[in-house]
Amino acid sequence: MTANVIGLIVALVFLIFPLAVLARNHPATRPESATTQPMPSLTELLDALHQVENPRNVAHPIDGLGPFCLHKDFWHDAYEFAGFEPDYTTWVCDDETCRATIRRNWMRYAELEYEHVGTGCGTWADVEKLCRVFNGGPRGHTKRATVKYWNKVKAELNK
């Protein structure tokens, strides 16, 4: 009889623990600050990145070129496995091509978060990771240096 009780307790723990984790991540149980602003779309996130990076569309050769101040290494990295690469010097000042390049970079280094935000199922954590990967590279979301940048973009999104 004791073995049955212990087995029942173990089974309940394995059933209840995953439910508790799911409940903790459910939108209704998030802190109020995380749910007060509507979730931005990818277009809104890219617009905010543009405002933070280069609000006046001025060329900054040291900081990168074009509306998003993209460096040649970022550009190449986004297209490395695509089988094609738009010419950097020709296309870096084209807004739509830069947006496509940033999306390719996200598809490579933050695929799940990109998909979540792109389908409208994202969280603020997903948006933050996309932003910090854009700013700090493939592991940008783990770098303390990208938090300040994320806060600038978040402020732009909350305007």
Q: Give the C-alpha separation, 18 to 24, whole Å.
A: 10
Token reading at 91: 């296309």
The secondary structure of residue 37, as a DSSP letter, is: S
- Rounded to two decimals, what is the model's pTM? 0.75
Q: How many residues are present in the chain? A: 159
The secondary structure of residue 41, as a DSSP letter, is: P
Mean pLDDT taken over the chain: 83
Give the confidence band of 159 by pLDDT, cuts at 50, 70, 90.
confident
Contact 55, 71 (CB under 8 A): no
pLDDT tens digits for 48-67? 999 999 877 666 666 788 89
pLDDT in the model for residue 18: 52
**Maximum CA pair distance of the chain?**
77
Domain spans, the chain = 1-30, 35-157
Q: Please determine, looking at this structure, whether the domain spanning 35-157 carries the CATH number 1.20.1440.120.
A: no
Token reading at 133: 């990967």
Among residues 120, 123, 122, 125, the alpha carbon closest in space to that of 150 is found at: 125
